[in-house]
């Protein structure tokens, strides 16, 4: 049969209406446990679940207990693999549970974790305050680091033979700085030995499953906060990890024992969300491009950080963008002229765009990274990563772009023009 595109398959893949009285939609399997037809069948399923023997040809793993498997969880996993071209997927009750489970599975005490800065706040805390308690060494690198820089950094750490994972967020939140995934793969290869292989993991939340496919650029694992674009309606918390059968098999085993799998109802909500994933994300990116092009010309805006504004003149960043991403996304960070006071005036005057953290949803959201999502980052690091006091991060939704522009413009209107500059002039 013809191989259909992912958006075509989101309504049907992995589900057969005959399993559920002909129901067109996969029902919510709100059950904790499943009946075995015979004791022999129960025994056979557990042999597979515990890896006591390999699957026989054409043998399917049967349903046992909803911490191990459930149709809403499994069908969701099968549909998610289609976007990233992954062999396998594991879904979780949150993005953080997907991330923490992957880090725990692939790092041993004494190993080195190399990660890109800045990281999502929750991940940053987990890396610095939890992994280190288990004897894992952690080392961050700054935006713009080259392959030579990374090799030198790892070599200097004295732990070159223990590099366990390179963990990336690209584009970076909230600055949209890019990290070259293929370059990180090359660094991982440089330090890998047959008995100690470094895994490359990419948190792809910022681009969702549509605009960047890290596995195709050499990553081993892709992670998502499914709370963001995948869920897309700001009404659910969930996460996902994708990769090869082998690596995801290990992650699923740890998930079984941590018990942080997705719940049936959450899985069902995400199946619904996936049907409109592409429609939503494409509209969001179109809106973001329109908004970014208008913002960059506004007299009260000092700078706009948006991938859709990159050009040849941006050199390496533009080359990486063209290689790695198929669209610029819907995350736009702006620097309002002035400082925190001006940024807050802008945020407080928004009428349509909601003042809230999170991203990737149908409604547009705005927040102040320096005092909100990145409040835990030290002042010295904020300066190094370019998280300035006048920065506002926008997640652009599916509203009419003219309505969004009306709101942004009237809120910018309310920003006192150059009041900070004026005060400085009076002081000095
Ligand atoms: C939101 C987010 C997370 C955490 O996901 P939760 O679903 O809130 O646990 C991780 N990484 C990035 C980039 C995020 O935006």
Q: Are residues 193 and 117 in the same domain?
A: yes
Interatomic CA distance for residues 54 and 243, integer angstroms: 20
Domain range for 262: 6-31+66-274
With respect to residue 45, please indicate whether it lies within any of the assigned structural domains: no
426 vs 100 pLDDT, higher one? 100
174 lines ligand 1 (CB under 6 A): no
pLDDT for 261 beyond 90: yes
Query: Which of the listed residues 91, 92, 93, 95 should we mutate to test ligand 1's pocket, taking the one with most ligand atoms within 8 A of CB?
Result: 95
Per residue in 205-254, pLDDT (tens digit) is 999 999 999 999 999 999 999 999 999 999 999 999 999 999 999 999 99
Question: Average of pLDDT values for 320-342?
Answer: 98
329 lines ligand 1 (CB under 6 A): no
122 lines ligand 1 (CB under 6 A): yes
Q: Are residues 253 and 395 in the same domain?
A: no
Interatomic CA distance for residues 16 and 125, integer angstroms: 42
Confidence of residue 50 (pLDDT cuts 50, 70, 90): confident
Question: Average of pLDDT values for 55-59?
Answer: 88
Residue written as tokens 């308690």?
A: 133
With respect to residue 53, please indicate whether it lies within any of the assigned structural domains: no
With respect to residue 37, please indicate whether it lies within any of the assigned structural domains: no
Residue 183, pLDDT score = 98
Contact at 8 Å (CB) between 117 and 141?
A: yes
Confidence of residue 61 (pLDDT cuts 50, 70, 90): confident
Q: Are residues 211 and 288 in the same domain?
A: no
pLDDT for 421 beyond 70: no
Interatomic CA distance for residues 394 and 305, integer angstroms: 10
pTM for the model stands at: 0.95
With respect to residue 385, please indicate whether it lies within any of the assigned structural domains: yes
The percent of residues in the chain predicted with pLDDT above 70, rounded, is 97
Q: Are residues 284 and 269 in the same domain?
A: no
Question: Average of pLDDT values for 201-207?
Answer: 98
Q: Which of 251, 274, 297 is the last residue of a domain?
A: 274
**Which CATH number characterizes residue 381's domain?**
3.90.1150.10
Q: Among 244, 246, 236, 239, which Cα is nearest to 215's?
A: 244
Residue nearest to atom 8 of ligand 1 (CA): 95
Per residue in 380-401, pLDDT (tens digit) is 999 999 999 999 999 999 999 9
Q: Which of 213, 244, 274 is the last residue of a domain?
A: 274
Question: Average of pLDDT values for 148-168?
Answer: 97
96 lines ligand 1 (CB under 6 A): yes
* 95 CA distance to ligand 1 middle (Å): 5
Could you give the C-alpha distances from 5 to 2, 12, 210, 376, in angstroms and in order? 10, 12, 12, 41
Residue 419, pLDDT score = 53
Q: Which of 249, 274, 299 is the last residue of a domain?
A: 274
With respect to residue 47, please indicate whether it lies within any of the assigned structural domains: no
Residue 49, pLDDT score = 86
With respect to residue 50, please indicate whether it lies within any of the assigned structural domains: no
Per residue in 22-33, pLDDT (tens digit) is 999 999 999 999
Confidence of residue 132 (pLDDT cuts 50, 70, 90): very high
Q: Are residues 157 and 261 in the same domain?
A: yes
Residue 2, pLDDT score = 86
Q: Are residues 254 and 281 in the same domain?
A: no
Residue 218, pLDDT score = 98
- Count of domains forming the chain: 2
Q: What is the mean pLDDT of the chain?
A: 95
Residue 424, pLDDT score = 53
Q: Are residues 349 and 256 in the same domain?
A: no
Confidence of residue 287 (pLDDT cuts 50, 70, 90): very high
357 lines ligand 1 (CB under 6 A): no
Q: Are residues 221 and 210 in the same domain?
A: yes
Residue 418, pLDDT score = 63
Contact at 8 Å (CB) between 121 and 96?
A: no
227 lines ligand 1 (CB under 6 A): yes
Angle at 255 between CA 249 and CA 256, to 5 degrees: 95
Q: Rounded to an integer, what is the distance from CA 157 to the centroid of its chain?
A: 28
């Amino acid at each position: 049969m013809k191989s259909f595109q992912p958006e075509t398959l989101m309504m049907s893949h992995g589900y057969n209406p005959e399993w559920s009285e002909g129901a067109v939609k996969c029902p919510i399997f709100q059950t904790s446990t499943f009946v075995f037809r015979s004791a022999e069948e129960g025994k056979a399923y557990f042999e597979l679940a515990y890896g006591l023997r390999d699957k026989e040809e054409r043998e399917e793993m049967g349903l046992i207990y909803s911490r191990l498997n459930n149709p809403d969880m499994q069908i969701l996993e099968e549909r998610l693999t289609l976007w990233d071209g992954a062999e396998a997927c594991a879904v979780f009750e949150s993005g953080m549970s997907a991330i923490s489970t992957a880090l725990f599975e692939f790092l041993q005490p004494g190993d080195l974790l190399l990660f890109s800065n800045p990281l999502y706040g929750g991940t940053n805390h987990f890396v610095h305050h939890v992994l280190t308690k288990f004897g894992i060494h952690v080392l961050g690198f700054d935006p713009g680091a080259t392959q030579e820089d990374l090799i030198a950094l790892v070599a200097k750490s004295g732990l070159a033979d223990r590099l366990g994972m390179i963990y990336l967020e690209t584009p970076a939140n909230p600055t949209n700085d890019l990290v070259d995934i293929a370059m990180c793969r090359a660094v991982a290869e440089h330090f890998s030995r047959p008995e100690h292989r470094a895994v490359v993991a990419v948190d792809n939340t910022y681009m969702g499953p549509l605009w960047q496919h890290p596995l195709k650029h050499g990553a081993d694992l892709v992670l998502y906060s499914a709370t963001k674009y995948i869920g897309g309606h700001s009404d659910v918390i969930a996460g996902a990890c994708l990769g090869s059968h082998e690596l995801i098999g290990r992650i699923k085993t740890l998930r079984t024992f941590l018990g942080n799998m997705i719940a049936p109802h959450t899985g069902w909500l995400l199946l619904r969300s996936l049907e409109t994933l592409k429609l939503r994300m494409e509209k969001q990116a179109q809106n973001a491009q329109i908004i970014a092009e208008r913002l960059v010309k506004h007299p009260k805006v000092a700078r706009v950080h948006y991938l859709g504004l990159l050009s040849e003149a941006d050199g390496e960043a533009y080359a990486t963008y063209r290689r790695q991403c198929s669209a610029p996304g819907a995350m736009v960070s702006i620097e309002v002229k002035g400082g925190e006071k001006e940024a807050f005036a802008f945020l407080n005057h928004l009428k349509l765009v909601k003042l809230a953290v999170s991203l990737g949803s149908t409604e547009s959201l705005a927040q102040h990274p320096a005092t909100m999502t990145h409040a835990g980052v030290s002042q010295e690091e904020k300066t190094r990563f370019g998280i300035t006091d006048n920065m506002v991060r926008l997640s652009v939704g599916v509203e009419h772009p003219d309505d969004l522009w009306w709101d942004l413009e009237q809120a910018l209107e309310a920003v006192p023009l150059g009041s900070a500059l004026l005060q400085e002039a009076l002081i000095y």
